[in-house]
């Protein structure tokens, strides 16, 4: 572990939070009113009382604080009374950096400003924090710790540009089509053996995306509906892994493995939320902060 680098990132995240608070504090009363007036123009129902600029910084703080404590912090900083349920609803609804989409397997977040690039797809697990572990140990009850799966795509800089949160038993390959939906044509995507299938090669081809994944040992070079799949297996068998990885550029994928470790070393692998919606919001904030301090 490069603790010097980890310390540097933690300090940068602290600076980002303070900078966000400072930017909000220096906004005068008139600018707050102007922002709220713009937000409420043409809105049906109850008007907004909290501007989006405040929701953005509150969302970042939610990574570290539950909603009730967050409400107390915001109230003390800005001298205004905002109920924690209002913050909760707005943080779950509003996101300046991300677009959200409900998919059959879970919840997907993506950025719309993507350009043609090399992208890397992978997944890992995050557990939710369960209370009463001592009771479980004392009475020898079954471990009820639950895991959610975090599927992500990062670009050549190591920024996460799309991710999905699903139940822990969702197969990596089944989420491939949803994740690459917003990747520009002409890009290249690299994935490990979990994504190696004729279906995924065909999906990538239809989107005019180059896809590379190391073939499994029993992979057949026969077409069977996917020319790109067969060509990948043939090339791999002829060159061997090392040469194949060098020619296709797959070796670059290993330089992006730190993306998961960066998230987990800074924030841990246990998340305070219990529902998939809460877990996805927490991960969205974690990803946003990490992307900002690259």
Q: How much is the mean pLDDT over the chain?
A: 85
Tell me the C-alpha distance between 110 and 125, whole Å.
19
CATH architecture of 100-256: 2-Layer Sandwich (3.30)
Q: Outline which parts of the chain fall under CATH 3.30.420.
A: 100-256
141's tokens: 């009850």
pTM, two decimal places: 0.80
List Cβ neighbours of 140 (8 Å cut-off, separation of 6 or more): none
Parallel/antiparallel/unpaired status of strands 147-154 and 118-128 = antiparallel
Tell me the C-alpha distance between 235 and 79, whole Å.
65
Summary count for the chain: helices (H), strands (E): 11, 8
Residue 94 has pLDDT above 70, yes or no: no
Q: What b/e sequence results for 266-282 when a residue is b if at least 16 CB atoms lie within 10 Å of its CB, and e otherwise?
A: bbeeebebeeeebbbbb
Instruction: Encode pLDDT of 21-61 as tens digits.
Output: 777 777 777 788 888 888 888 888 888 888 888 887 788 78
pLDDT band at 75 (very low <50, low <70, confident <90, very high): confident
Residue 116 has pLDDT above 90, yes or no: yes
Higher pLDDT, 128 or 232: 232
Instruction: Encode pLDDT of 96-114 as tens digits.
Output: 778 999 999 999 999 988 9
Rounded mean pLDDT, 172-198: 93
Higher pLDDT, 30 or 163: 163
Residue 131 has pLDDT above 60, yes or no: no
The percent of the chain in helix, strand and coil, each rounded to the nearest 5, is 50, 15, 35
HSE-up of residue 200 (Cα within 13 Å, Cβ side): 26
Residues 164/98, Cβ–Cβ less than 8 Å: no
For 4, the 3-state DSSP assignment is: helix
Tell me the C-alpha distance between 68 and 87, whole Å.
9
List Cβ neighbours of 22 (8 Å cut-off, separation of 6 or more): none
Tell me the C-alpha distance between 187 and 53, whole Å.
33
Q: What is the pLDDT of residue 160?
A: 94
Tell me the C-alpha distance between 262 and 169, whole Å.
24
pLDDT band at 176 (very low <50, low <70, confident <90, very high): very high
Tell me the C-alpha distance between 27 and 52, whole Å.
13
| Residue 116 DSSP one-character state | S
Higher pLDDT, 47 or 140: 47
């Amino acid at each position: 572990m490069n603790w010097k680098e980890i310390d540097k990132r933690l300090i940068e995240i602290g600076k980002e939070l303070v900078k966000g608070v400072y930017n909000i504090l220096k906004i005068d009363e008139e600018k707050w009113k102007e922002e709220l007036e713009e937000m409420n123009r043409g809105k049906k129902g109850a008007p907004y009382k909290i501007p989006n600029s405040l929701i953005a910084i509150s969302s970042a703080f939610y990574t570290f604080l539950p909603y009730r404590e967050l409400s107390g912090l915001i109230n003390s900083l800005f001298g205004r009374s905002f109920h924690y349920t209002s913050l909760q609803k707005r943080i779950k609804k509003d996101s300046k950096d991300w677009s959200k989409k409900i998919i059959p397997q879970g919840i997907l977040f993506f950025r719309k400003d993507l350009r043609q690039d090399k992208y890397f797809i992978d997944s890992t697990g995050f557990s939710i924090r369960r209370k009463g572990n001592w009771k479980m140990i004392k009475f020898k009850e079954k471990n009820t710790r639950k895991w959610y799966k975090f599927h992500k795509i990062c670009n050549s800089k190591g920024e996460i540009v799309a991710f999905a949160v699903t139940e822990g038993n969702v197969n990596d390959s089944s989420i491939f089509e949803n994740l690459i939906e917003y990747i520009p044509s002409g890009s290249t995507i690299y994935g490990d053996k979990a994504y190696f299938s004729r279906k995924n090669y065909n999906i990538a081809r239809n989107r005019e995306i180059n896809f590379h994944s190391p073939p499994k040992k029993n992979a057949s070079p026969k077409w069977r509906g996917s020319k790109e799949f067969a060509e990948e297996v043939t090339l791999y068998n002829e060159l061997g892994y090392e040469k194949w990885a060098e020619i296709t550029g797959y070796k670059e994928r290993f330089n992006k493995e730190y993306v998961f470790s960066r998230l987990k070393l800074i924030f841990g692998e246990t998340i305070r939320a219990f529902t998939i919606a809460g877990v996805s919001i927490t991960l969205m904030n974690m990803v946003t902060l990490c992307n900002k301090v690259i």
